[in-house]
Structure 1
Amino acid sequence: RIGELFEETNGYVYINLQLASYINDILTFLFAFCCFFGTIKLIRLCRFNQRLNLFIQTLQYAGKELISFAMMFSIVFISFICLFYLLFVSKLDACSTLLKTSQMLFEMSLMKFDAHELSGAAPFLGPFCLSLFIILVVFVCISMFITIISDSFRRARKNINNDQEIFSYMLNKFQRWTGLKKANEEERYALIRLEYFDPIEGFPERVDQLLDAINRLYMTQISERSRMEKDEF
């Protein structure tokens, strides 16, 4: 429609492209999320790898606990954002906006923040708030997060499946079938043992089959003799 309108007016009319731009932005956002989730789904294809499988199972075991921890951590982190923003909004450029304050607190949690700025802005409140943040967020919350991951990792190691062994077995079979890999001495010995047939081991079964055949023959003769005697009478 835009092309037809442009052709009819030879480009001398105003064309509003706001709706088209809005739709294009929405499609770009949807495409970005589709690419993100599609790439994440590739992890499932790597589940035969033992380490990736262990990583996936660890996240599955820790899912509910991590959600609860994330809610608690968000409340604590937002409360510190409000605290630092209201105390140092007029004294520090790093606390001039909520976004900059959250960035500063994130740097504090990584121990990459210069504490001298807080001390210069407020000799008492600066170190006090910094110490409170380090104790509650870095020591307590991060320790809780590591504990949740460690416990889930321990449970995942106990309940890990044997997909890796199945995949290795299938891969080795395919490589030997195509001739890309030759069997070693132990594998050849195992194959020979499977293919080798010892006549002595099958002797009892053969004897049982012979006795069964003799028994059937004997019973058949008895039944025929009984039938012949009935016919004579």
Structure 2
Amino acid sequence: MQHLFGECSPGYGEHTKETGAFEEGWKRVKNTSAMESAAPGWTHVPSGYPSLPIYGVTTHYWGDGFGLHLVKSADEMRSILADLKANRWIDKRTRVIFLEAMLYNGNVDLFTSLTLVFELSETAGVFSRHHVQTFRLHQRPGTIGYIYVLLEIIYVIILLYSLWKEAKKAHAGGLAYLKGAWNIVEIFNFFLAFTAIALYGFKAVYSSRALAAIKEGKDQVHHFRSAVNISLVYGWFLAFLTFVNMMKFLRLLRFNPFLAKLTSVFRGMAGEFSSFSVYLFLCMSAFCFFGYLKFGLIVTEYSSISKSFSTLFQMSLGNFYYYELREAAPILGPIFFFAFICIIFLALMNFAMAIIDSALPEMRNHDMPEEDRYFIQGLWERFTAFFGFWKAPAAVCRKRTSRQSLSLCRLSEMFPMLQQRNFMLATASSRSALPPQTTAQTAAAVKLPAPRARRQWRWPPGPRERRRTPQKATKPAKSK
């Protein structure tokens, strides 16, 4: 093909991209002293700030390149673009063009970052993509801002207290602490929380730098790009943190009888369903790789492995792409479609329903632990009793199954008997200190039963011991 094309365009890569300095018209700079006076847009500008890759249709790109800042005036912008066009700033070696714009809405105090991506392929094709991100640089003004700061401080205090409690629990449990699933969730929650706090600090620093760059009139693109990227990552971690904390509320579902039975169903079918998940994943992978290798160059939905998985998952939910497959391959397309529907949608889904149905009898035989059965009821009673809306009845003690409630019930029942016993002991002790006549009068007034003589019994009696019966003393006969 050399007689048809005098020069070939190499593919783009991080190791093959150009990073030098040029003059207008893409002429190499021979004198290094001329680099400082070079026109803007012809010198490679590295990305000196934290940035995320910018994703296009075919690949991703970083924040470096040959860039220039367009001024706000429309006439100056037209003259700059005309000069770039005259010197062929965009030529056949250009692989991607970024157009970044920053918008500000003062009514809601929000910034919007708009990034347009134009990819130029080696075959002179153009693929476009856009990214729109909205974020906030200023703190919320007025009273609502102070409320937000107060809530953030309270959250940090609660987080540190929870960390201290979990550290004590982990120190007491040792390696057995890591065997609990919810303990692993708690560790992951602390990791996300402290990472979000660190990103919140970085966001505040880069936001202040971006606002200072606006006031001083410096290059705002890099500052705003860093602020946008950190705000984006902070939003990701905040979303994960919220998700984990909401999932922790699932622990409260075990106190509901019906949901506790439903949880027992998932626990009972965990072994069989895990094996079924592996089998389903292997079948999905087989169809995914077949679709990627057969239709990847024709159908957009199968252009990558991730898109193939996403497309097959959508097909299992009812979103079909039958006509695209039929146009790409009139014979293999319909065969692939109907084979996937019959194997995945009909057979394997029915297997999953059979596994769930086999675990349902265990739900009927499930009994909640006694500690969890009345936890919510007791918690609500304590909460209402704290504010004075509910008061436990004095005469009737509710029947509870927990150990603490049984102890309280027994103590409340024994309290009058203990009071009477105490009164009797006090009366007996005071009676023993009085003279005999006073003691008899006190016993008659209180109507206490006469004290009985205690007998000591030994069983079985020894060989030399025998039961003695008290005998009445006989009076001597009177002499006549």
TM-score by length of 2: 0.32
Once residues 8 and 128 of structure 1 are traced to their aligned partners in structure 2, the CA distance between those partners, rounded to angstroms, is 60
Percent sequence identity over matched residues? 23
Matched, 1:166 2:366: no
Counterparts in 2 of 1:159 and 1:130: CA distance versus 1, 3 Å: same
Match of 1:56 among 234, 238, 263: 263
Give the C-alpha shift of residue 83 in structure 1.
Answer: 1.4
Q: Which structure 2 residues correspond to residues 14-53 of structure 1 after superposition, within 5 A? A: 14=219, 16-17=222-223, 18-53=225-260
Q: Which residue is equivalent to 1:216? A: 455
Give the C-alpha shift of residue 13 in structure 1.
Answer: 2.9
CA contact (8 A) 2:213 2:219 kept: no
Matched, 1:155 2:394: no
Matched, 1:141 2:348: yes
Give the C-alpha shift of residue 134 in structure 1.
Answer: 2.2
Letter in 2 for 1:54: K
Matched, 1:85 2:308: no
Deviations 1:80-111 (A, max 9, x none): 12212333345545444545543442343234
CA contact (8 A) 2:210 2:227 kept: no
Once residues 159 and 128 of structure 1 are traced to their aligned partners in structure 2, the CA distance between those partners, rounded to angstroms, is 46
Q: Which structure 2 residues correspond to residues 169-188 of structure 1 after superposition, within 5 A? A: 170=378, 178=390
Q: Which residue is equivalent to 2:194? A: none
The structure that is strand-richer by fraction is 2
CA contact (8 A) 2:316 2:341 kept: yes
Match of 2:276 among 59, 69, 74: 69
TM-score by length of 1: 0.59
CA contact (8 A) 2:253 2:260 kept: yes
Give the C-alpha shift of residue 11 in structure 1.
Answer: 1.1
**Structure possessing the higher radius of gyration over alpha carbons:** 2
Counterparts in 2 of 1:24 and 1:117: CA distance versus 1, 3 Å: closer
SS at match of 1:14: coil
Letter in 1 for 2:218: V
Once residues 130 and 8 of structure 1 are traced to their aligned partners in structure 2, the CA distance between those partners, rounded to angstroms, is 56
SS at match of 1:128: helix
Once residues 330 and 341 of structure 2 are traced to their aligned partners in structure 1, the CA distance between those partners, rounded to angstroms, is 17
Q: Which residue is equivalent to 1:202? A: none
Once residues 79 and 60 of structure 1 are traced to their aligned partners in structure 2, the CA distance between those partners, rounded to angstroms, is 29
Q: Which residue is equivalent to 2:338? A: 131
SS at match of 1:138: helix
CA contact (8 A) 2:316 2:344 kept: yes
CA contact (8 A) 2:261 2:366 kept: no
Matched, 1:12 2:12: no
> Matched residue pairs, number?
191
Give the C-alpha shift of residue 23 in structure 1.
Answer: 3.5
Give the C-alpha shift of residue 165 in structure 1.
Answer: 4.9
Range 1-10 or range 28-37, more displaced: 1-10
Counterparts in 2 of 1:172 and 1:96: CA distance versus 1, 3 Å: closer
Q: Which has the higher contact order (CA 8 A, sep 6+)?
A: 1
Counterparts in 2 of 1:6 and 1:84: CA distance versus 1, 3 Å: closer
Once residues 61 and 121 of structure 1 are traced to their aligned partners in structure 2, the CA distance between those partners, rounded to angstroms, is 45
Counterparts in 2 of 1:121 and 1:166: CA distance versus 1, 3 Å: same
Letter in 2 for 1:59: F
CA contact (8 A) 1:6 1:13 kept: no
Structure 1: 5+ residue stretches without partners: 180-186, 188-194, 196-209, 223-233
